[in-house]
């Protein structure tokens, strides 16, 4: 009885937002299935168009949705829109999908209520780090800024995180990545055997703060790198997957770095230098 009552309540809470938000026209044919086995422990998972699913497909886990809404009522709807974001963009980039969903939902008052619930949920995750997602605070900040949520409505913990993020960028320096115009890339960044986070070359403004590094030479690796090109529908299309590259770099305190990525079929190469040096050579 409790389970039925909970799902009825969840449906009634989510219905006003669902009635106001619907996928863009080119995503309306995407099937949505409810199968926790397909989501592999997460609330949702999407798959890009294929022979068997020409529009792509989204799987959602109602049990995970219920668990999230018990913590922050209404937040689970954000994750549904997030999965549409992956299909709209043609990308696996979680930050891009978060930003897309926040932009979509930020256009109505009911949608902003969902964003506030999602921000509260992510802020509760806090500094816990997941390589492809970043920390909970990182996701909360992305959602808040992409969705146009006024800072007066941010949790105090998120305001504190934003200041810590800014301080870390200024103190430790940061790194961004670029490719030539023929392709883009994303993947994981590892410095001295420590995973720093997920990079993508489409958003150079998303610089990754460097960890505390001693002055001198360090080793950087890019792993699980995917390369993309834009298709005729302006969505990303994966070219190669699972690539890697390694380089070394020398750093001074607070230095900004830029990684230049080049690719030749399945061979990936990386060079890293100071931002000013890289710009003079471009």
Query: Same domain, yes or no, for 96 and 204?
Result: no
Query: Same domain, yes or no, for 138 and 205?
Result: no
CA–CA dist 100, 96 (Å, integer): 6
Span 141-162, pLDDT tens digits: 999 999 999 999 999 999 999 9
Span 237-262, pLDDT tens digits: 999 999 999 999 998 877 899 999 99
The range of the structural domain enclosing residue 129 comes to: 9-164
Establish if 132 belongs to a structural domain. Answer: yes
Q: Residue 55 above 70 pLDDT?
A: yes
Tokens in use for 47? 């798959």
Tokens in use for 101? 């969903």
CA–CA dist 169, 255 (Å, integer): 10
Q: Write down which residue in 164, 184, 204 finishes a domain.
A: 164
What is the share, in percent, of the chain residues with pLDDT greater than 70?
Answer: 91
User: What average pLDDT does this structure show over 98-113?
Assistant: 97
The alpha-carbon radius of gyration of the chain (Å, integer) is 20
Query: Same domain, yes or no, for 73 and 134?
Result: yes
User: What average pLDDT does this structure show over 272-277?
Assistant: 80
User: Measuring CA to CA, which residue among 47, 29, 31 is closest to residue 39?
Assistant: 47
Query: Same domain, yes or no, for 181 and 138?
Result: no
DSSP state string for 59-111: EE-HHHHHHHHHHSTTTHHHHHHHHHHHHHHT---HHHHHHHHHHHHTTSHHH
Query: Same domain, yes or no, for 178 and 76?
Result: no
Establish if 4 belongs to a structural domain. Answer: no
Q: Residue 274 above 80 pLDDT?
A: yes
CATH of the domain at 236: 2.60.40
Find the range with the poorest average confidence among 116-130, 143-157, 223-237: 223-237
Find the range with the poorest average confidence among 2-16, 36-50, 62-76, 126-140: 2-16
The count of structural domains within the chain is 2
CA–CA dist 47, 59 (Å, integer): 9
What pLDDT does residue 180 have?
A: 84
Q: Write down which residue in 134, 164, 194 finishes a domain.
A: 164
Q: Write down which residue in 141, 164, 187 finishes a domain.
A: 164
């Amino acid at each position: 009885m409790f389970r039925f009552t909970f799902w009825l309540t969840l449906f009634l809470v989510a219905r006003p937002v669902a009635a106001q938000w619907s996928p863009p026209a080119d995503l309306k044919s995407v099937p949505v299935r409810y199968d926790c086995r397909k989501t592999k422990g997460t609330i949702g998972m999407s798959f890009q168009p294929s022979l068997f699913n020409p529009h792509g497909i989204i799987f959602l886990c109602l049990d995970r949705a219920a668990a999230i809404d018990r913590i922050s009522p209404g937040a689970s709807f954000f994750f549904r829109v997030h999965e549409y974001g992956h299909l709209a963009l043609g990308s696996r980039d979680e930050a891009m999908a978060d930003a897309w969903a926040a932009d979509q939902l930020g256009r109505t008052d009911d949608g902003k209520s969902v964003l506030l619930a999602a921000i509260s949920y992510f802020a509760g995750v806090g500094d816990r780090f997941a390589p492809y997602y970043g920390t909970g605070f990182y996701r909360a900040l992305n959602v808040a800024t992409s969705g146009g949520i006024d800072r007066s409505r941010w949790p105090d913990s998120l305001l504190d995180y934003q200041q810590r993020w800014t301080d870390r960028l200024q103190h430790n320096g940061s790194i961004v990545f670029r490719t030539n115009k023929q392709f883009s890339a994303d993947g994981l960044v590892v410095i001295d055997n420590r995973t720093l986070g997920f990079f993508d070359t489409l958003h150079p403004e998303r610089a990754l703060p460097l960890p505390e590094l001693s002055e001198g030479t360090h080793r950087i690796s890019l792993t699980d790198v995917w390369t993309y090109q834009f298709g005729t529908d302006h969505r990303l299309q994966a070219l190669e997957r699972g690539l890697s590259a390694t380089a070394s770099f020398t750093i001074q305190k607070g230095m900004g770095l830029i990684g230049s990525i080049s690719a030749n079929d399945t061979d990936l190469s990386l060079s890293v230098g100071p931002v000013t040096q890289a710009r003079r050579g471009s």
